[in-house]
Structure 1
Amino acid sequence: MNPVRRLFAVRDRELPSPVPAGSPVAEADGLSVRLGRRQVLDSVGLAARAGEVLALVGPNGAGKSTLLAALAGDLPAAGGEVRIGGRPAAAWSAPELALRRAVLPQSAVLSFPFPVEDVVRMGRAPWAGTARGDEDDAAVATAMAATEVTDFAARPFSALSGGERARVALARVLAQRTPLLLLDEPTAALDLRHQELVLRICRERAAAGDAVVVVLHDLGLASAHADRAAVLHGGRIAVAGPPAEVFTGALLGEVYRQPVEVFPHPRTGVPLIVPVRGS
């Protein structure tokens, strides 16, 4: 058996239960996180809900990636608690946690030249030995089609461009088929078309009942695609809510230390955010 699959081949795992729309899938309650001597998050409260896309935005160093990792149960809390599926994250075993959340890191690095299809299939490892293990082929094929990587299924992952690697890494996360998707800057290496593709996938997963948390630097993408946005500033959440309500010129100008103008798109009404520039 593949060593990765052997790690998860435990038959007494508790499988995830369906989560009603609008109910929390993951929650941070008074969460504080320290990295070394630095406090990165301070008393953060936030919920990722089934059927929603939640965008984490804010300037560099605000704590977005740290919050995402903490919501995944990958970082210990110095204070407060993270709950996944209604249970403290630390109470789940690693195999059980892998059935409940899938994580896309900022960069995808592999030491060996695995074919693209094998990389995507790695997302199915948590389901080995469960009643849903027979979904592997369909899950892999569907994820590759959604991210438009089917045509280079046999190519080595190491031979791909940065944008292609990013889409393959997303396909692996989608193939995992968990009720919580945690995506760290999934559009950073992508061109305009594929940025829109990735955010459409996020919306589709939310429409299917998943909770999607995505770290974004592009406020326009967050505004257009997120149901809610949490604006992080100095390790705290400055404000959270629908982008049309929380993306104001005054708030964003203060948080980013850059004056901005916010005005509605003439056709959709979605807020557009533009830096104030000299004439």
Structure 2
Amino acid sequence: MRLFGLPGARTAPPEPVRPGDVLAEAEALHVRLGTREVLAGVDVAARAGEVLALVGPNGAGKSTLLGALAADLPAASGTVRVHGRPAHAWSARELALRRAVLPQSATLSFPFAVEEVVRMGRAPWAGTALEDEDDPAVAAAMAATGTADFAARPFSALSGGERARVALARVLAQRARLLLLDEPTAALDLRHQELVLRVCRERARAGDAVVVVLHDLGLAAAYAHRVVILRAGRAVADGPPAGVFTDRLLSDVYQQPVEVFPHPRTGDVLVSPVRDS
């Protein structure tokens, strides 16, 4: 099945990116949802070649920040740039060539086969010089997410975890250089949580900027190059996990005693709640 984009002249693909290029950034960002200010003066930048994890308690503004960086939510004030240009200056199709978004849940009203769902990620490339890469892009995305074995099954017949992996495959098939993933591990078992975060690291090694919302601080510590800790709509820390994950800060942010210590074999950061014996 081939999905066609908008009619008209062929669209030029995005310019190449270099390691360290800022592909999404917010400056003094304020976002309101109704009468509530959800983000209050947040500064953040996502760079090519890194995994950036957004962490914090429920209601901290993680998903809202991701939506603003995707240009899906408007800023009340402040600036959001995608690939160096104000987000509102891109058309919807231009954005789709530059950033791919994985929402918290994936629903479809029609019984599309899994491969057809993944192929939807290729729609922005129709009419560009790279539209002939559809088949290899879809195959590579399904191989990376372990979804090729049920390519012909209806999406509606999948388990929650299988749907989550198919949705990630669609995002990967889009081959945008900026990936914005909202809780991609929430519905997954241990094995597939690790698979998804390894894919994030692989995309960063390939030069993409990956922004991922995570609740599991252990996964963030293990796989993120950098973390932004949000609390009540503000960024209270930004840096490598080993630098910003401290007992005092995490205990304060989560209102739960937390212990941070090095792994006995690798030295990597481990995070554990303090429990009564």
TM-score by length of 1: 0.97
- Structure 2 residue aligned with 1:216: 214
* Inter-partner Cα distance in structure 2 for 1:86 and 1:70: 15
Among the aligned pairs, what percent are the same residue? 74
Shift of 1:99: 0.2
- Pick from 184, 194, 197 the counterpart of residue 195 of structure 2: 197
> Counterpart of 1:254 in structure 2: which amino acid?
D
**1:2-151 alignment, distance < 5 Å:** 5-6=4-5, 8-151=6-149
**1:5 Cα deviation after fit:** 2.5
Distance in 2 (CA, whole Å) between partners of 1:91 and 1:73 is 10
- Please name the residue that 2:275 is paired with: 277
Partner residue in 2 for 1:181: 179
Question: Take 1:5 and 1:107, find their aligned partners in 2: how far apart are those partners?
Answer: 25
Residue of structure 2 in register with 1:165 after alignment: 163
Whole-angstrom distance in 1 between the partners of 2:28 and 2:10: 32
Kindly state the Cα deviation for residue 179 of structure 1 after the two structures are TM-superposed: 0.5
Q: Deviations over 1:170-218 (max 9, x none)?
A: 0000000001000000000000000000000000000000000000000
Task: Give the aligned residue type for 2:162.
Answer: E
Secondary structure at 1:97's aligned position in 2? helix
Give, in angstroms, the shift of residue 50 of structure 1: 0.2
Moved more, 218-227 or 261-270: 261-270
Amino acid at match of 1:275: P
The Cα shift of 1:9 comes to 4.3
Root-mean-square deviation (CA, aligned residues, Å) is 1.1
* SS of structure 1 residue aligned to 2:28: strand
Q: CA deviation at 1:267?
A: 1.5
TM-score normalized with structure 2 length: 0.98
SS in 2 for 1:217: coil
Match of 2:253, SS state, is: helix
Does structure 2 conserve the Cα–Cα contact (< 8 Å) formed by 1:14 and 1:96?
no
Report deviation, 1:11. Answer: 2.9
